[in-house]
Amino acid sequence: MLDMLEEEHELINGEEVLLAAASLPHLGIQRNMSRVIGNYLRGKRCSLFTEARVVFDDKNWFQPDVLVICDRSKMRLNHIEGAPDFVAEVLSPTTKFRDLGIKKDTYERFGVGEYWVVDPLARDVTVYLLRDGKYELDYVYHSYSEEEWEGLTEKEKSQQKLALKLSLYDDLVIPVEEIFEE
């Protein structure tokens, strides 16, 4: 049985990495995503979790900020065993390098179908979809301030995608601004 101290770590390539406390903006984004996606998933086969331990192998286990799992056979009492269908990580200065590097590579290698990288400072969501075993950049969605939006030309405005979808469900549409609501 894992003790409380261990729950504050991730194991990355066999090395324990301390998890720092999340900032309030980070927690707000996590809450917003959980609310929207979790409410949508009610009564469906997939389940949403926040900060659940995901064990990929004996050298790699992470606690993603938000994840969706559809294969219930991967669920154990205290963790998920194997790749979730969807993972979102909210960047912070201390995790950005890992989230965009080793974690992204690990998610890809173990078959996480969709990976969102949420940047609170840039107010954008970068979406990667797994195709033929490799992540492809799908789109970078941005939450525009009123001033930023007014500064765009009509052509630039027409080219923006202001809502994103979880690839598992075509009818789950999330306005980007809702992810960043305070």
pTM of the predicted protein model: 0.92
CA dihedral 150, 156, 158, 162 (to 10 degrees): -70
- Which residue has 């690990």 as its token pair? 106
> What percent of the chain stands above pLDDT 70?
96
d(CA 90, CA 72): 25
69, part of any domain: yes
Q: Quote the domain boundaries for residue 173.
A: 8-179
152, part of any domain: yes
46, part of any domain: yes
Q: What pLDDT, on a 0 to 100 scale, did the predictor assign at position 179?
A: 97
Q: What pLDDT, on a 0 to 100 scale, did the predictor assign at position 21?
A: 86
97, part of any domain: yes
Neighbour count for residue 118 (Cβ, 10 Å): 25
Q: What pLDDT, on a 0 to 100 scale, did the predictor assign at position 144?
A: 94
* Residue 18 buriedness (CB in 10 A; 0-12 / 13-18 / 19+): exposed
Judge contact between 68 and 116, C-beta under 8 A.
no
2, part of any domain: no
Ranges of residues in the chain whose predicted pLDDT is under 50: 1-7
Q: What pLDDT, on a 0 to 100 scale, did the predictor assign at position 20?
A: 83
Number of separate domains in the chain: 1
* Residue 43 buriedness (CB in 10 A; 0-12 / 13-18 / 19+): exposed
d(CA 106, CA 89): 13
CB neighbour list of residue 142: distance below 8 Å, 6 or more residues apart: 122, 123, 124, 160, 176
38, part of any domain: yes
12, part of any domain: yes
Q: What pLDDT, on a 0 to 100 scale, did the predictor assign at position 91?
A: 95
3, part of any domain: no
d(CA 107, CA 82): 10
* DSSP class of 6: G
- CATH number of the domain where residue 40 is located: 3.90.1570.10
